[in-house]
Structure 1
């Protein structure tokens, strides 16, 4: 198993993984996600306001991962599905995040496609199911 994340480290990340909690830098106004100790944009801001991200965005880029290229924690999923899409999403608030795309459209994934975050099981490690966000194509009213 690669990319081991201890239970305490995982629990510290629950707000961002479960609620998409970001932080707005009080110095430059940019939104950091995941949260940082120092703003990754201005590199000097260290005071933040917690904000709730909408979970809405567009596909900035994407790839399809097959069994041989899957990280160890996703090897079971790769065996079950054969391959799965991963997207780089530019959120409405600005940050870009990487996550799996669920329910990809039959006509294929496109750059600029509207997506929305959904809460899903990510993987299981040490007998603990790790939950977090994935994305799906946005419904027409999003």
Structure 2
């Protein structure tokens, strides 16, 4: 798609409170994918759309949770829903649905038919692939054995 005068209006976000807020059109796609409130608990007191706006604000600005504007839901509420939706796969389902929709709008098949592999990926695969990258990314564990390094020097009296 090109930036034409007809197309430019679709992406104008100047009338929204924040550029990261979801439009009515976007909410029509995302809203039905939000899971209902758990049965047996209290009723939701915060609108799901405002929670999505809070999550989108954090993701688009990269700000700290403590810097979430006061006119959005409390940061603890937004963070709780963000973690819950990440854990139960809601965010993945939303991403996948929007991904397919975007590909469909530009006339492409739902899944790509080609992939690009860079030389670094090939080198990693030759050395053990997933195992070697996973080992580098795992957090070091503390040894339960007593460390001798703290007693390696004498104490000055």
Is the structural similarity TM-score above 0.5? no
Q: TM-score, normalised by structure 1?
A: 0.22
TM-score, normalised to structure 2, is 0.21
Instruction: Name the structure with the higher helix share.
Output: 2
Q: From the two aligned structures, give the one with the greater strand fraction.
A: 1
